[in-house]
Amino acid sequence: MRIAILEDDQDQADLLTVWLEEANHQCDVFADGNAFVRAYKQDSYDLVLLDWMVPKLCGLDVLKHLRAHVDTVVPVVFITQRDSEADIVQALEAGADDYMAKPVRHKETMARVNAIARRMGFGDEHTSDNYDVPPYKIDTRLRHVTLNGDIVDMTQKEYELTLFMFKNLGRVISRGHLLEMVWGTSSKLNTRTVDTHVSRLRTKLKLDEQEHWQLTSVYRHGYRLEHTK
């Protein structure tokens, strides 16, 4: 997964990054709330880890901003020294998915992250039922896509991009996010690879001909695949 960490304690941020990158996740660390919000306006992540007490904009306000303006579906986990019942309830009611009090432990932290990853479909490449949305069906065992029962001729990278977009149906996914998760390359590279492949998918999946499907470009951000009923 691609994970954003809001943490102003450098030692804690480094520790979390080491744990997560050992498990093959990609991490971006932000030391204050305003920097996090600015970055998130132009990027996207699969999971957000928030400290509460950070400079400029606290973690709770960052969460409220995410839920109200940016990303209503990305899982958010608090990792903070604030451990009162009132704090936990406040965070969960504001939209947090989980809450951990510092000091965090390695195995417990990774178990919680892995639970979220499973819920989102990461590491479950052999379950095709989740991607059967007429007129499309993705067979993750045979690694192909069908449109109205006919196999769509596409490269393996086009297949991987299609699968990732269907996994994130309805979400705006940044170009950098796609570069890291589909191509396994740096999100900072200046490349038109993503735009070229998205254009090919529109053609091969005949999205412009489908009444209830849209693959749209979101200005200065990325792309969103939507199923409109």
Q: pLDDT tens across 87-109, in order?
A: 999 999 999 999 999 999 999 99
Instruction: Say which residue the tokens 């001729």 belong to.
Output: 153
Calculate what percentage of the chain has a pLDDT beyond 70: 93
**Residue 77 confidence class, pLDDT cut points 50, 70, 90:** very high
Instruction: Give the residue, 191 or 19, on which the prediction is more confident.
Output: 19
pLDDT of residue 189: 65
Q: Which residue has the higher pLDDT, 42 or 163?
A: 163
Query: Is residue 21 within a helix (H) or strand (E), and if so which, with residue range?
Result: helix 10-22
| 116-125, 141-150, 188-197, 208-217, range with greatest mean pLDDT | 141-150
The sheet carrying 172-174 orders its strands as 172-174, 222-227, 213-218
- Given a cut of 80, whether residue 63 has pLDDT beyond it is yes
Indicate the pLDDT class of residue 126, thresholds 50, 70 and 90: very low
According to the CATH classification, is domain 2-120 in 3.40.50.970? no
Where in the chain do CATH 3.40.50.2300 domains reside?
2-120
Domain with CATH 1.10.10.10 in the chain: 129-227
Task: Using the predicted structure, report yes or no on whether residue 49 has a pLDDT greater than 80.
Answer: yes
State the pLDDT at residue 128.
44
Tell me what the mean pLDDT of segment 43-53 comes to.
93
Q: What is the mean pLDDT of residues 57-75?
A: 86
CA distances in angstroms from 157 to 28, 135, 164, 173, listed in the order given? 25, 21, 11, 17
Average pLDDT for the chain: 88
Architecture of the domain whose range is 129-227: Orthogonal Bundle (1.10)
The three-state secondary structure class of 213 is: strand
> Average pLDDT in the 53-68 region?
93
